[in-house]
Amino acid sequence: MPTPDSIGKSGAGPYGDFVVATDNALGEILDALDETDQTKDTFVLFTSDNGGLFHYWDFRASDDGGKAPKAKRGGQNRKFNHPSNADWRGTKADIFEGGHRVPFLIRWPGKAAAGDVIDTTIELTDTFATIAEIVGEKGEGTSGTDSFSILSLIKNTQPKSSRPFAIHHSLFGMFAIRKGDWKLVEGRGSGGFTQPRTLDANGIGG
User: In angstroms, what CA-CA distances link 51 with 104, 169, 192, 195?
Assistant: 12, 13, 12, 17
Residue pair 9/77 in contact (Cβ under 8 Å)? The answer is: no
68 pLDDT band, cuts 50/70/90, is: low
Q: Which of 66, 92, 95, 62 lies closest to 77 in space, CA to CA?
A: 92
Residue type, 70: K
Among the listed residues 22, 27, 21, 25, the one whose alpha carbon sits nearest the alpha carbon of residue 9: 21
Q: Give 104-116 pLDDT, tens digit per residue.
A: 999 999 999 999 8
Helix/strand number for the chain, H first, E second = 4, 5
**C-alpha span between 153 and 125 (Å, rounded):** 15
Q: What is the pTM of this model?
A: 0.84
